[in-house]
């Protein structure tokens, strides 16, 4: 008991020491607990980016929701994209709690997105010009997301870990939804097969980039070290990319698709996949909102935000009057 | 002419072979029901990612899914009768064969769903709310339809409608009772929706036969119930409820439609049309 009551009298260093003891003991940190500034800031950045990526991620698939080729596919993709928005909402709520002591709200998250200060995942800057892209996003982008998110399921920050558990459960359905679209195309007509191979060729580099650069040396910055120190994640970017290859390369080949990288092979002696590096300079450009669809999608988001300003005003007036 | 027997029930699609006239009228009704939900769900799906806030995006998307599911159930009933495959009925028919109300095909507002959409949330709320109330009245009547497979579908749909109706009523009252810009926008949207709302409430030229065969109650009764349900809400938001509703841009039940529907069909069938025989 005395330990608890005296915590507020500890020096900052002692508080930090206690905090690290909890982290190393595998304890969960909760929203109201004391936490060092860089832990809070790292989490805000990570979770806001994750949340906003889910929301921006709805936009490439949005194109295909009204166009899905059957009633069953229409229902499937509607449910899938709705889940993504739901994940976005769940994560923004987690980020909002972390931002509250700083006097910040969701409004700041949206403004940061519009200003370009808050990034979203590289994959959602890419075009999705065919129905096969819609399937591929579900299958491989969500498949990649499952791998990175599973890596954080035991994150030291409790609210994030719990949100991820729910999200991962749904992502498994998404990957199945995507796989079902992909299998229909892979077993379909010549045109359908070509459409599928084109989509894979188009998405390959973005999928490799999805896991982030191997080290800070590649792009100048990396959050890997701090997130591992604070037990937010366990594996490095490269380990995750290797896991992705191990899981998906055999599946890609088994449905008759060709890998867009001819140099790719598994090096038995090193126990690693050898592959052609994506263009990391291009990656930097993409996440700076200079990707092929960055401006267009931000424009959609921003336009709807301004277009509906009168609704938010009406709602806030309402709550003030109550 | 087949005689009218108020206790007649059809329990299976196969029995329809003995009642060709009944079947023809039933098919007409099913197309109205299917096409209404299908096209409005499509319009709703264009809103994805563009709703006033993220929470609404999720709720609206859920309603659109339910509505598409309802359309799929009606198309399936048509497939079971032997009219064609549900997917073909949804994707292949030209606008002249569609039976949805014109109000439901109208675009959400200026712009395209992928480029510069300036969609009108007031119109979305009013159109969805008024339609959902009309759908509720219709479904309550269909629960006693002489075509039992339809009555069973109505019972299923009814469970979800409760939430849809509550959702749209909440938005309608909140925004209409807000002052300033919101109220003005809502009043404009109400006037706009009423111009074509007659098209939602009509059962078309075969309406009388539908009633005779006990498929659904009369247009007049359904309309009265709609008005009864809306009266207290209009009083709450201090607006006048008209007694007559227009069909300014035509009667969709007779296959009269606008260019908005042609464009919608082109979009929603874009992938399907690449190869209607392929498995997707």
Instruction: Tell me whether residue B140 is in a domain.
Output: yes
> How close does chain B come to A115, measured CA to CA in Å?
19
Residue A226 counted as domain residue: yes
CB pairs under 8 A between A and B: 138
Residue A4's pLDDT is: 57
Nearest CA in chain A to B181: A310
| Number of residues assigned to chain B | 280
- Say which of A184, A301, A311 has its CB closest to residue B279: A184
**Is the residue at B228 inside a domain?**
yes
Mapped onto helix, strand or coil, the DSSP state of residue A267 is strand
User: Are B42 and A75 an interchain contact pair (Cβ–Cβ within 8 Å)?
Assistant: no
Taking residue A261's Cβ as centre, other Cβ atoms within 10 Å add up to 17
Residue A42 sits in the same domain as residue A180: yes
- DSSP letter (8 states) at residue A277: P
In a domain, B10, yes or no: no
pLDDT at B7: 73
- Say yes or no for a CB contact (<8 Å) between A63 and B114: yes
Q: Do A123 and A13 have their domain in common?
A: no
By the CB < 8 Å criterion, does B29 face chain A? no
Nearest by Cα to B107 from B60, B63, B54, B44: B44
- Are residue A60 and residue A9 in the same domain, yes or no? no
Tell me if B168 is assigned to some domain: yes
Q: To the nearest whole angstrom, how far is the Cα of B62 from the nearest Cα of chain A? A: 7
Partner-chain contact A304 B51, CB within 8 Å? yes
Instruction: pLDDT band for B280, please (50, 70, 90 cuts).
Output: very high
Q: What pLDDT is stored for residue A219 in this prediction?
A: 63
Q: Is residue A308 part of a domain?
A: yes
- Give the domain extent around B209: 17-274
Tell me, yes or no, whether A63 and A195 share the same domain.
Answer: yes
Inter-chain touch B117–A86, beta carbons under 8 Å: no
Question: How is residue A300 written in tokens?
Answer: 């959609």
- Per-window interface: B 66-125 vs A, CB < 8 A: 68-69, 71-72, 75, 86-87, 90-91, 113-119, 121
Q: Which residue has the tokens 């938005």?
A: B171
Q: A107: nearest CA in chain B?
A: B53
User: CA torsion sign, A253 to A257 to A260 to A262?
Assistant: positive
**H-assigned helices in B47-147:** 54-81, 86-91, 102-105, 121-142
Residue B65 has pLDDT above 70, yes or no: yes
What is the residue range of A240's domain?
Answer: 35-207+220-321
Same domain (yes/no): A129, A255: yes
- B1 band by pLDDT with thresholds 50, 70 and 90: very low
pLDDT tens track, chain A, 322 positions: 455 557 888 999 999 999 999 999 999 999 999 999 999 999 999 999 999 999 999 999 999 999 999 999 999 999 999 999 999 999 999 999 999 999 999 999 999 999 999 999 999 999 999 999 999 999 999 999 999 999 999 999 999 999 999 999 999 889 999 999 999 999 999 999 999 999 999 999 999 999 999 877 766 666 778 999 999 999 999 999 999 999 999 999 999 999 999 999 999 999 999 999 999 999 999 999 999 999 999 999 999 999 999 999 999 875 444 3
Tell me the chain A residues in contact with residue B61 when contact means C-beta distances shorter than 8 Å: 78, 81-82, 85
Mutation target to probe the A interface, by most A beta carbons within 10 A, among B35, B43, B54 is B54
Does A75 contact B87 at a Cβ distance shorter than 8 Å? Answer: no
Euclidean distance between CA atoms A314 and B170, whole angstroms: 13
Residue B226, in any domain of the structure: yes
Q: Measured between CA atoms, how close is B262 to chain A, in angstroms? A: 14
Q: How many domains does the structure of chain A reveal?
A: 2
Residue ranges of B 238-267 with Cβ closer than 8 A to chain A: 267
Residue B28: CATH number of its domain: 1.20.1260.10
Give the CA dihedral B156, B162, B168, B171, nearest 10 degrees.
-150
How confident is the model at residue B6, as a pLDDT? 66
**Burial track A202-218 (b if 16+ CB lie within 10 A, e otherwise):** bbbbbbbbbbbbbeeeb
A270: which DSSP letter? T
- Please state, in angstroms and rounded to a whole number, the distance separating the CA atoms of residues A242 and B72: 42
Same domain, A24 and A107: no
Show the tokens assigned to A160. Answer: 């994030």
Q: Nearest CA to A128 among A170, A65, A177, A82?
A: A65
* Facing B72 at nearest CB: one of A64, A69, A75: A75
A5 lies in the same domain as A96: no
In-domain check, residue A161? yes
> Which residue from B179, B267, B279 is facing A317, i.e. has the nearest CB?
B179
Helices of type H across B96-217: 102-105, 121-142, 148-177, 181-201, 207-212
Q: Looking at residue A203, what is its pLDDT?
A: 98
Tokens representing residue B63 in the block: 């309603």
CA distance A281 to chain B (A): 29
- Which chain A residues have a beta carbon less than 8 Å from that of B116? 299, 303
- Domain count for chain B, please give it: 1
- For residue A75, the domain's CATH number is 1.20.1260.10
The rounded distance, in Å, linking the Cα atoms of A68 and A63 is: 9
Q: What is the pLDDT of residues B46-61, one digit of tens each?
A: 999 999 999 999 999 9
Residues A159 and A51 in one domain: yes
CA angle A303, A121, A34 (to 5 degrees): 100
Q: Which of A70, A189, A310 sits opposite B185 (nearest CB)?
A: A310
Distance from CA of B29 to the nearest CA of A (A): 20
Task: Match 């359904």 to its residue by tokens.
Answer: B222
Separation in Å, CA of A46 to nearest CA in chain B: 19
To the nearest whole number, what is the mean pLDDT of chain B?
96
Residue A214 lies in a domain: no
In terms of domains, do A268 and A139 share one? Answer: yes
Does residue A92 sit within a domain? yes
Q: Are residues A295 and A171 in the same domain?
A: yes
Contact (CB<8Å) A85/B121: no
Residues of chain A found within 8 Å of residue B71, distances taken between Cβ atoms: 71
- In this complex, the residue of A69, A70, A312 whose CB is nearest that of residue B52 is A312
Containing B45, the helix (H) or strand (E) segment is helix B20-46
Tell me if B279 is assigned to some domain. no
Nearest CA-CA distance, residue A2 and chain B, Å: 43
* Residues A9 and A122 placed together within one structural domain of the fold: no
* A309/chain B closest Cα distance in angstroms: 8
Residue in B79, B271, B273 to test binding to A, most A beta-carbons within 10 Å: B271
Q: Where are the alpha helices (DSSP H) in chain A?
A: 2-6, 12-24, 37-62, 71-99, 106-115, 131-136, 142-150, 158-186, 190-210, 216-219, 224-229, 237-254, 280-285, 294-307, 309-321
- Per-residue pLDDT, averaged over B186-191, amounts to 98
Q: Which residues of B fall within a CB distance of 8 Å from A64?
A: 271
Task: Considering only residues B102 and B7, tell me which one the structure prediction assigns the higher pLDDT.
Answer: B102
List, for residues B127-159, the tens digit of each pLDDT value: 999 999 999 999 999 999 999 999 999 999 999
Q: Is residue B253 domain-resident?
A: yes
Pairwise CA distance, residues B120 & B51, whole Å: 10
Same domain as A136, residue A15: no
Nearest to A77 by CA among A167, A201, A176: A176
Q: Report how far residue A23's alpha carbon sits from residue A20's, in angstroms, rounded to the nearest whole number.
A: 5
On whether residue A256 sits in a domain, the answer given is: yes
Tokens standing for A263? 């140099």
- Looking at beta carbons, which residues of chain B come within 8 Å of A315? 174, 178
Answer yes or no: is pLDDT of B267 > 90. yes
ipTM summary value: 0.95
CA-to-CA dists, residue A174 to A135, A215, A242, B15, angstroms = 10, 30, 21, 41
């Amino acid at each position: 008991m005395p330990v608890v009551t005296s915590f507020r009298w500890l020096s900052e260093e002692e508080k930090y020491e206690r905090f690290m003891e909890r982290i190393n003991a595998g304890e969960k940190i909760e929203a109201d607990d004391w936490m060092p500034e860089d832990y809070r800031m790292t989490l805000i950045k990570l979770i806001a980016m994750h949340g906003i990526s889910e929301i921006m991620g709805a936009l490439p698939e949005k194109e295909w929701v009204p166009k899905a080729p059957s009633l069953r596919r229409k229902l499937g993709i509607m449910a899938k994209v709705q889940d993504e928005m739901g994940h976005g909402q769940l994560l923004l709520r987690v980020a909002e709690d972390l931002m509250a002591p700083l006097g910040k709200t969701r409004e700041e998250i949206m403004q940061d997105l519009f200003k370009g200060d808050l990034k979203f995942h590289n994959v959602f800057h890419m075009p999705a010009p065919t129905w096969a892209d819609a399937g591929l996003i579900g299958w491989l982008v969500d498949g990649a997301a499952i791998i990175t998110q599973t890596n954080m399921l035991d994150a030291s920050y409790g609210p994030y870990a719990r949100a991820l558990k729910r999200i991962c459960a749904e992502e498994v359905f998404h990957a199945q939804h995507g796989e079902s679209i992909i299998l229909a195309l892979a077993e379909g007509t010549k045109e359908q097969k070509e459409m599928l191979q084109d989509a894979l060729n188009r998405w390959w580099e973005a999928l490799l980039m999805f896991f982030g650069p191997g080290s800070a040396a590649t792009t100048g910055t990396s959050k890997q070290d701090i997130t591992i120190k604070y037990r937010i994640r366990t594996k490095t970017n490269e380990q995750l990319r290797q896991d992705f290859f191990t899981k998906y390369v055999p599946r890609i080949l088994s449905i008759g698709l060709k890998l867009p990288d001819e140099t790719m092979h598994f090096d038995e002696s090193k126990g690693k996949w050898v592959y052609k590096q994506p263009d990391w300079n291009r990656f930097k450009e993409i996440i700076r909102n200079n990707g092929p669809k960055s401006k267009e999608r931000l424009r959609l988001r921003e336009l709807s935000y301004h277009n509906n300003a009168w609704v938010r005003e009406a709602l806030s007036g309402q709550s003030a009057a109550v | 002419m087949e005689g009218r027997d108020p206790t007649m029930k059809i329990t299976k699609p196969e029995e329809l072979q003995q009642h060709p006239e009944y079947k023809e009228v039933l098919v007409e009704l099913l197309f109205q029901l299917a096409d209404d939900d299908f096209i409005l769900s499509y319009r709703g799906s264009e809103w994805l990612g563009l709703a006033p806030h993220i929470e609404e995006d999720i709720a609206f998307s859920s309603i659109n899914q339910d509505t598409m599911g309802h359309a799929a159930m009606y198309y399936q009933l048509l497939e079971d009768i032997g009219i064609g495959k549900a997917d073909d009925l949804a994707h292949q028919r030209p606008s002249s064969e569609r039976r949805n109300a014109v109000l439901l095909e109208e675009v959400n507002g200026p712009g395209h769903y992928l480029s510069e959409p300036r969609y009108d949330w007031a119109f979305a709320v009013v159109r969805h709310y008024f339609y959902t109330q009309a759908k509720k009245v219709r479904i309550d009547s269909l629960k006693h339809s002489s075509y039992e497979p339809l009555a069973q579908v109505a019972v299923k749909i009814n469970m979800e409608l409760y939430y849809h109706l509550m959702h749209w009523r909440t938005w309608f009252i909140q925004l209409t009772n807000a002052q300033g810009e919101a109220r003005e926008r809502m009043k404009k949207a109400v006037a706009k929706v009423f111009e074509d709302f007659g098209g939602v409430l009509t059962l078309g030229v075969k309406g009388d036969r539908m009633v005779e065969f006990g498929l659904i109650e009369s247009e007049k009764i359904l309309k009265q119930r709609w008005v009864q349900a809306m009266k207290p809400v209009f009083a709450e938001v201090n607006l006048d409820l008209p007694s007559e509703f227009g069909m300014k841009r035509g009667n969709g039940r007779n296959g009269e439609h606008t260019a908005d529907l042609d464009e919608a069909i082109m979009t929603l069938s874009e992938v399907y049309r690449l190869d209607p025989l392929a498995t997707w």
